[in-house]
């Protein structure tokens, strides 16, 4: 019996580590590209990679349960396809005895996910946000990214390319109070000069063409003017520092959320959003157990050696679980539907049906 447990545990851990490495790399791939963009924009490489390090705990909080699901599907699918589970049960070993070491591992992984979701992840996610804010204050030209609009007050700015302080193919829209554009400024090139003491950007455009409507609303006429040099100022420091001092719920640790909930209830402030955040974190952290309970019997029943089938099922199961839990974010503004309780529908379904499924297989 001990030999069988060690055999199953080794197979599970080997697959789990490989799957976690691949999934973590895949989920951080987009952020890694962002890091290289920051470095090319003049941001120190140390700060750029610190950002990647700060977001890693919250990424692991998702990849750990997903890797556990992939491992369960692949390992038990192969054992079933090779009739090894049938041979174990013919020798008097029940399915619960076979899966018992994996249950212990799933419990340990759940504890790790709880720690990441409630404590470490939100803390370092807040530090990543603060790091990005500090980077933009210290390296304000990194604000401009080719092809991505940048909005400051009534200005919407596009650039085609950037070389240090020089920006090219510049398009600036000055928006009115009703959201309609008032001016359209185009320039082949320009220079961005930063005043770090005042936290202002002076954008100097060369050979700019300005298109604007003039006259009353019934008889507006578009006029085009040309300016050899046009300068406008962006107060980026004011924009960054005008944010609400109160941190958002996703950046708060467990005890901080409880304290905020208690304070908001005393002040009569709605707490649905914070309750959703807290319930989401716990529900997501319970994913390893839910995935084990439902994934293992599915893997035994499918009995496939092909990794593609196991991977396909794991993607479906993980996507349905994470999506079902996270969809409550969209309902946080409608407390009448109790989104903080709807979060628990996927964990409950996975664990109930999984437990029933396992006991049915165990009775055969």
CATH classification of the domain holding 171: 2.30.30
128 and 255 both lie in a single domain: yes
295 and 318 both lie in a single domain: yes
- Confirm whether 201 is domain-assigned: yes
Mean pLDDT of 311-319: 87
17 and 52 both lie in a single domain: yes
Domain stop point among 213, 234, 255: 234
What are 243's two structure tokens? Answer: 């944010």
228 and 262 both lie in a single domain: no
pLDDT, the chain, mean: 82
Give the residue among 304, 300, 292 at the shortest CA–CA distance from 355.
292
- Confirm whether 241 is domain-assigned: no
| CA distance linking residue 245 with residue 219, whole number of Å | 46
- Confirm whether 145 is domain-assigned: no
Q: What is the pLDDT of residue 60?
A: 94
- Confirm whether 146 is domain-assigned: no
268 and 216 both lie in a single domain: no
C-beta atoms surrounding 200 within 10 Å: 16
The pLDDT-based confidence of 38 (bands split at 50, 70, 90) is: low
* Residues paired with 171 in a beta bridge: 158, 186
Return the minimum-mean-pLDDT range out of 7-11, 164-168, 348-352: 164-168
321 and 177 both lie in a single domain: no
285 and 310 both lie in a single domain: yes
54 and 159 both lie in a single domain: no
The predicted-structure confidence for 147-186, as pLDDT tens digits, reads as follows: 777 777 777 888 888 877 788 888 888 776 665 667 788 8
Asked if residue 299 has pLDDT above 90, the reply is: no
| CA distance linking residue 300 with residue 86, whole number of Å | 10
- Confirm whether 217 is domain-assigned: yes
Mean pLDDT of 205-213: 83
Report the percentage of the chain scoring pLDDT > 70: 84
Number of structural domains (the chain) is 2
Domain stop point among 182, 203, 234: 234
71 and 175 both lie in a single domain: no
- Confirm whether 143 is domain-assigned: no
- Confirm whether 214 is domain-assigned: yes
163 and 132 both lie in a single domain: no
Q: What is the pLDDT of residue 59?
A: 92
Q: What is the pLDDT of residue 347?
A: 93
Q: Do residues 310 and 73 touch, judged by C-beta distance below 8 A?
A: yes
Q: What is the pLDDT of residue 240?
A: 54
Q: What is the pTM of this model?
A: 0.75
Q: What is the pLDDT of residue 245?
A: 45
Query: What is Dmax (Cα atoms) for the chain?
Result: 92
33 and 88 both lie in a single domain: yes
The predicted-structure confidence for 229-280, as pLDDT tens digits, reads as follows: 888 877 766 555 544 445 677 888 888 898 888 888 888 888 888 999 999 9
Per the structure, the complete domain to which residue 305 belongs is given by 2-137+247-363
330 contact partners, CB below 8 Å, separation of at least 6: none
- Confirm whether 252 is domain-assigned: yes
96 and 15 both lie in a single domain: yes
| CA distance linking residue 52 with residue 245, whole number of Å | 24
Q: Do residues 161 and 169 touch, judged by C-beta distance below 8 A?
A: yes
Domain stop point among 207, 234, 261: 234
Q: What secondary structure does DSSP assign to 223-265, as a single string?
A: EEEEEEEEEEEE-HHHHHHTS-SSPPGGG--HHHHHHHHHHHH
Q: What is the pLDDT of residue 201?
A: 77
Asked if residue 115 has pLDDT above 90, the reply is: yes
């Amino acid at each position: 019996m001990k030999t069988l447990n060690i055999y199953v545990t080794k197979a599970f851990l080997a697959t789990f580590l490989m799957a976690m490495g691949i999934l973590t790399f895949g989920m951080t791939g987009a952020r890694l590209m962002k890091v290289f963009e920051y470095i090319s924009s003049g941001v120190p490489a140390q700060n750029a990679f610190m950002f990647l390090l700060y977001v890693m705990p919250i990424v692991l909080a998702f990849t750990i349960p997903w890797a556990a699901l992939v491992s369960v599907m692949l390992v038990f699918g192969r054992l079933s396809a090779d009739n090894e589970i049938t041979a174990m049960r013919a020798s008097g070993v029940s399915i619960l005895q076979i899966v018992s070491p994996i249950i212990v591992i799933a419990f340990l992984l759940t504890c790790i996910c709880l720690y990441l979701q409630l404590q470490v992840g939100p803390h370092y996610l807040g530090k990543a946000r603060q790091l990005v804010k500090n980077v933009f204050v210290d390296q304000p030209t990194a604000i401009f990214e080719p092809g991505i609009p940048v909005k400051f007050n009534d200005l919407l700015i596009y650039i085609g390319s950037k070389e240090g302080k020089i920006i090219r193919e510049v398009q600036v829209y000055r928006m009115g109070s009703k959201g309609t554009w008032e001016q359209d400024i185009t320039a082949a090139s320009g220079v961005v000069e930063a005043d770090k003491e005042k936290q202002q950007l002076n954008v100097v455009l060369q050979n700019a063409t300005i298109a604007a409507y003039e006259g009353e609303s019934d008889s507006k006429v578009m006029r085009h003017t040309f300016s050899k040099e046009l300068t406008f100022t962006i107060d980026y420091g004011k924009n960054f520092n005008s944010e609400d001092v109160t941190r958002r719920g996703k950046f708060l640790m467990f005890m901080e959320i409880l304290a905020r909930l208690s304070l908001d209830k005393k002040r009569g402030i709605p707490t649905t959003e914070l309750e959703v955040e807290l319930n989401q974190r716990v529900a997501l952290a319970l994913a390893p157990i839910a995935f084990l309970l439902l994934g293992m019997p599915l893997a035994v029943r499918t009995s496939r050696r092909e990794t593609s089938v196991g991977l396909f099922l794991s993607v479906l199961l993980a996507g349905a679980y994470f999506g079902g839990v996270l969809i409550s974010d969209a309902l946080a503004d409608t407390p009448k539907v109790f989104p903080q309780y709807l979060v628990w529908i996927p964990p409950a379904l996975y664990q109930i049906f999984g437990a029933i499924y396992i006991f049915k297989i165990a009775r055969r």
